[in-house]
Amino acid sequence: MNKPSNQHSGLIELHIAVLLFGGTALFSKLIALSALDITLIRCFIAAIVLALIVKLNRQPLKLKHWREYAVAIALGIVVSLHWVTYFASMQMSSVAIGMIAFFSYPVMTVLIEPIINRTRIEKVDIISGLAVLIGVTLLIPEASLGNEVTLGIAIGVLSALLFTARNLMHKRYFSQYSGAKAMCYQTAVAVVFLAPWQQVELASISNTTWAMLVLLGIVFTAAPHALFAAALRQLSAKTVGLVSCLQPFYGTVLALLVLHEGVDVKTALGGLLVVATAIFETQRAHKHQRPR
């Protein structure tokens, strides 16, 4: 009797999580710090909050096997590089362009995973890859990395590649842990990894900027990861994957409302092609996973 109610609440939690994930992009413009400093302080705040969430859920913070600590370190380094490039991409271009470039990751996954698993890449996945390539190409103002927007797109695609690597590593070696616990370790490792390259003096950060950083670390990082993990327990993987594809849409709408960033026709077409392909591949992946 409670199942429809649980699914309804899970769907609300999922949409809020995806909306908040989309909202993280705004902080690349709202916070006047480098992408590295934003990521470092964001991870420090998020690691503390996620550790508290794990303890409140009465889960142990310890990992089961010592080898998993090496996996956590590798995942944390990849996540830190992903977030630095994610923010840098949007600082160089725009929220919409950076998010569209980043959202090439679902198609990257379907092209890279068969290579890791030593299975054949299907022709339809190659066509999806070409569709995403065309979509990203539509975003490019000129074929030169001397153009800051073009460089931002290239860095956004690199961020997508790093996120793909993180997801594949997590799925294979770390998926036995809850989202909050996994991200607690990854954000903590990111702090240690990025700290030597810190550029800003903490004392020089204004109260307004600190408020933004705390908002980013708690409301837009720790909270959506906890909500996302809760939604996964209530909903099918297909539903979660499809709703997650709304992230660029939510991010672009928030950028329009908060930052007054417009989107031209070429960017909208490129975004539509990338996101539509991501939705198509998400549906295909879950059809293949159904028991026959």
Position 64: which residue type?
K
- The string of pLDDT tens digits covering residues 21-30 is 999 999 999 9
Smallest Cα–Cα separation from 229: which of 10, 75, 21? 10
What is the C-alpha separation between 226 and 2, in angstroms, rounded? Answer: 22
- Yes or no: say if 42 and 213 are a contact pair by the CB < 8 Å rule: yes
Tally of domains within the chain = 1
Residue 279 binned pLDDT confidence (cut-offs 50, 70, 90) = confident
Tell me the mean pLDDT in the region 94-100. 91
Domain limits for position 112:
3-289
Note the pTM of the prediction, 2 decimals: 0.87
Compute the half-sphere exposure of residue 167: CA atoms within 13 Å on the CB side of its CA. Answer: 15
Extract the tokens encoding 164. Answer: 């793909």
- Yes or no: say if 224 and 20 are a contact pair by the CB < 8 Å rule: yes
Query: What pLDDT is stored for residue 72 in this prediction?
Result: 95
Tell me the mean pLDDT in the region 91-111. 89
What is the C-alpha separation between 285 and 123, in angstroms, rounded? Answer: 14
- The string of pLDDT tens digits covering residues 182-218 is 999 999 999 999 999 999 999 999 999 999 999 999 9
Least confident residue range of 84-88, 121-125, 163-167: 121-125
What is the C-alpha separation between 99 and 90, in angstroms, rounded? Answer: 8
Tell me the mean pLDDT in the region 124-135. 86
